[in-house]
Amino acid sequence: MLLLCIGLVTHAQKFKPVTSLSFSDPVVKAKVKSLLPSLGNKLIILDFWSTGCYSCMQAFSRLDSLQQRFGDSIEIVLVSRESTDSINRFLVKHRKLVLPKLRMVTSDTLLRRVFPFDAVPFHVWIGRDTTILHQTSGINTNEEHISQTLKGNSLSLEKYNQISKVSSFFRDDELPLITYGSYLAHCQQAVRIVPPQDSINVDIFLECASIEQLYQYAYNESHFWGAWYNRVGRVIYEGRGFENFKRPAEGEHFAKWISEWSFTYHLRLASNKGLSGFAFMRNDLDRYFGLRSRVEKRETSCLVLVQKNEKSFPQSRGGADKFRYVESELDSSKNRYEVKNQSIRRFSQVLGQQIEDVYGLPFVSAIDSEARIDVSMVFPKEIPNDLELLRKLFWEIGFDIIKTSWPINVLVIGR
């Protein structure tokens, strides 16, 4: 079961709006001032986030751009209850994520008590006079709203509401009786659905997902972000009118997109039927959106991993499986990969997704996917956007990359 959402439920005290920063306790006031040294001098926007919140991290580049755009007029501060070490460990595992160059408060227990909330991303806007201007969703932090605020114009932003938690849009008394049922609803940002843990029935659940994400999950039959149809070039649209099917970058019009083009889906199926819930889900989506979806093998422009020559293959000598990478001792811009007795499939999947993001083409392997290899290599943290340079890096370990047409399975969505 997968939860795709624009926020993450957190455990906090009951939400009570704060209207101004006036502290009766001078110790608390001093601590807040130490965390926010610009308090009273510029517009401050606190971004409460978590490593468990996908949309929080999607917004990092936008927040970074806003800080650069407005310079010393504002200060955007990232606030997390997680420790610096915990965040750094997360970044090591998720190389594509880069933290913005913003002030960050970690291991926070104070600010979240001053500004209690139920879900992230949660943004607090504090004016130069320390008045609390807004407590709102992160999607409202954009260039237009900041510009108007700095000009002294008042804004009526959507207020942060305490998140209501329900088990389903099915009635609670009906849920145990359902042998097959499903619903599709527009995303409700003030409602968080927490389906009951039920070992008897099959539940497929997504929350606030784009239409493309719904289809990807239905065909991947998996929640794994690196699953096949989530990757570059694996979804093809036939026809017109699909512009809003993809989740857009957060910005001025994102709130409108969320309300009109993101959906919550829940399917319940009695497990004793022995049926695939995903087949039902695919039929539900096609029927509701008036589409025809299917998987086809098509010749597609790809980057293909091949052997450089017969003698160059880094055949594994066996032993314990190992796949890890650490920062190079000699060059901090590179990582050292240590691969022992790993399959080509695993090796190409890890590097392939990063290569796809840079080149915008599917990355596949022409080598037996179950073949085992041993590889020790130093590789740039940032994949070079130069195919000849990338090829030379792979030559050093006995492989090559060619750009060619290759048959791959693609998800085709049409009318």
Residue 222 falls inside a structural domain = yes
Based on the structure, what is the number of domains in the chain?
3
Q: Are residues 176 and 278 in the same domain?
A: yes
Same domain, 287 and 330: no
Q: Note the pLDDT tens digit of each residue in 279-299.
A: 999 999 999 999 999 999 999
- Other Cβ atoms within 10 Å of 236 Cβ, number: 13
Token digits of residue 153: 């114009």
Would you state the pLDDT for residue 16? 40
pLDDT tens track for 208-222 = 889 999 999 999 986
- The average pLDDT across 371-382 equals 82
| Per-residue confidence band for 393, with pLDDT thresholds at 50, 70 and 90 | confident
Q: What pTM value is reported for the model?
A: 0.68
Query: Last residue of a domain, which of 127, 150, 173?
Result: 150
Residue 285 counted as domain residue? yes
Q: Let me know whether 177 and 309 are in one domain.
A: no
- Of the three residues 256, 276, 297, the one that is the final residue of a domain is 297
Give the containing element (helix H, strand E) for 181: strand 180-186
Please give the Cα distance from 55 to 120 (Å, whole number): 9
The domain of 262 spans 164-297
The answer to the question of residue 173 being in a domain is: yes
Say whether both 182 and 313 belong to one domain: no
User: Residues 289, 170: one domain?
Assistant: yes
* Position 155 in a domain: no
CATH of the domain at 89: 3.40.30.10
Would you place residue 8 in the very low, low, confident or very high pLDDT band (cuts 50, 70, 90)? very low
Please give the radius of gyration of the chain, using alpha carbons only, rounded to the nearest integer: 24
Distance CA 266, CA 180 (A): 11
- Look at residue 158 and tell me if it is in a domain: no
Q: Strand order of the sheet with strand 201-209?
A: 180-186, 263-270, 201-209
pLDDT in tens, 183-236: 899 987 666 666 666 656 777 888 888 999 999 999 998 655 568 898 899 999
List, in order, residues 6 or more apart from 388 with CB less than 8 Å away. Answer: none
Asked if the structure places residue 35 within a domain, the reply is yes
Q: Does residue 285 sit in the same domain as residue 329?
A: no
Q: Does residue 143 sit in the same domain as residue 178?
A: no
pLDDT tier at 9 (50, 70, 90 boundaries)?
very low
pLDDT per residue over 313-341, tens digit each?
Answer: 788 888 888 777 777 777 777 777 788 88
- On whether both 55 and 139 belong to a single domain, the answer is yes
Kindly state whether residues 108 and 205 are assigned to the same domain.
no
Do 219 and 316 belong to one domain? no
Residue 252 lies in a domain: yes
Last residue of a domain, one of 256, 281, 297: 297
More confident residue, 5 or 61: 61
Is 415 part of any domain? no
**Each residue's pLDDT tens digit, 29-61:** 677 777 787 777 899 999 999 887 877 887 888
Q: Give dist(CA 182, CA 388) in Å, integer.
A: 50
State whether 285 and 320 are in the same domain: no
- 296: number of Cβ within 10 Å: 11
Q: Please state at what angle helix 143-150 crosses helix 60-70, rounded to 10 degrees.
A: 30
Q: How many residues does the chain have?
A: 415
Residue 79 contacts residue 105 (beta carbons within 8 Å): yes
For residues 64 and 178, state if they share a domain.
Answer: no
